[in-house]
Chains A and B, each alone.
Chain A
Amino acid sequence: KAGVTQTPRYLIKTRGQQVTLSCSPISGHRSVSWYQQTPGQGLQFLFEYFSETQRNKGNFPGRFSGRQFSNSRSEMNVSTLELGDSALYLCASSRDPGSGANVLTFGAGSRLTVL
């Protein structure tokens, strides 16, 4: 079955611009989480969506936002880009059984460079 698909894979923006990244989860997966990975901070949780609702949010400024559509696809948006936003942005989906163990499947990521 198809994995988690993230688009675009690579993009370059300049400071002050905004960017939208897209994530298509595995069919049947209802939960989508977003992570930012930088060399200095490692993998950090951004937010999680379930049934079109944000269920949890990490410690990032309000410039980072996201949403989930009725088909579970998700987008994240970063406004007023800063140089420090350059990172690999990863999306993960899970079946979210509601109880017990929950395994995340990650996409290949979107690599954002801010100049």
Chain B
Amino acid sequence: DAKTTQPPSMDCAEGRAANLPCNHSTISGNEYVYWYRQIHSQGPQYIIHGLKNNETNEMASLIITEDRKSSTLILPHATLRDTAVYYCIVRVARNGGSQGNLIFGKGTKLSVKP
């Protein structure tokens, strides 16, 4: 699975959009980009994933560049409850094989401030 690079920390004002970048320059064609977050002392929470196209759900939007070497997670209106560590993970979709062993890096610690 390709390696990802994220900034260690970011600040965002409450109510503003939080844009979290992730570099995955060695991504291959069959690897998905997943985003999870972990609020202090809780289990990680799935946010969104994508392969090539931009994706949006009720939590966030995922923008993947055309060359797929980087992506941005967008929280459109950040709240104090969005303060968490955000993990960007690149993972190949295996047919019938093991898929439960995600490799978590250090992630980005997002602090949403009033």
Residues of A within 8 A of B (CB): 4, 31-33, 35, 42-45, 48, 50, 55-56, 58, 88, 90, 92, 94, 96, 98-109, 111
Contacts and interface: CB of A to CB of B under 8 A. Distances in A.
A45 B101 contact: yes
Report whether over half of chain A's contact residues are helix, strand or loop; otherwise say mixed: strand
Given A101-B51, A104-B46, A58 B99 contact: no
A112 B34 CA distance: 28
Interface string B45-82: 11001010000000000000000000000000000000
B46 A55 contact: no
B106 interface: yes
Interface size class of B (residues with CB under 8 A): 20 to 34
Contacts, number: 76
Contacts of B44: 43, 90, 92, 104, 106
A57 to B, nearest CB: 9
A45 B101 CA distance: 6
14 contacts: A4-B43, A31-B100, A45-B103, A56-B101, A90-B44, A94-B100, A99-B93, A99-B94, A99-B96, A100-B93, A103-B46, A109-B41, A109-B42, A109-B43
A90 B38 CA distance: 12
Contact of A102 (B42, B43, B99): B99
Helix, strand, loop or mixed for chain B's interface? loop
Contact of A108 (B32, B43, B95): B43
Contacts of A99: 93-96
A109 B44 CA distance: 10
A113 to B, nearest CB: 13
B65 to A, nearest CB: 19
Contact of B100 (A4, A43, A104): A104
A42 B106 contact: yes
